[in-house]
């Protein structure tokens, strides 16, 4: 798992830095809590932005993980998009 994670890091970073080429009709923002195994098995917030294109196609625009849901994380995520 460690080796797979190391291989995925550049791909995940590229995903977050990619240019959004299409226009979106609507953007949904939401967060949900999932149990994540880091130092403990705490539940952490997974933030997600989903865009809907004019043709109805849905696309995950961006996501991030943080210990809890708060305005600072939403602000950073939206500014990075």
pLDDT tens across the length of the chain (81 residues) = 788 888 999 999 999 888 887 789 999 999 999 988 777 668 899 999 999 999 999 999 999 998 888 999 999 999 988
In a domain, 4, yes or no: no
In a domain, 59, yes or no: yes
In a domain, 10, yes or no: no
In a domain, 6, yes or no: no
Alpha helices in the chain (DSSP H): 2-17, 71-80
């Amino acid at each position: 798992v460690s080796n797979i994670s190391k291989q995925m890091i550049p791909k995940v970073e590229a995903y977050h830095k990619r240019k959004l080429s299409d226009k979106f009709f609507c953007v949904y923002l939401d967060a949900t809590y999932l149990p994540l195994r880091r130092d403990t098995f705490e539940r952490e917030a997974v933030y997600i932005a989903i865009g809907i294109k004019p043709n109805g196609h849905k696309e995950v625009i961006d996501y991030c993980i943080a210990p809890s849901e708060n305005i600072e994380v939403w602000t950073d995520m939206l500014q990075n998009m």
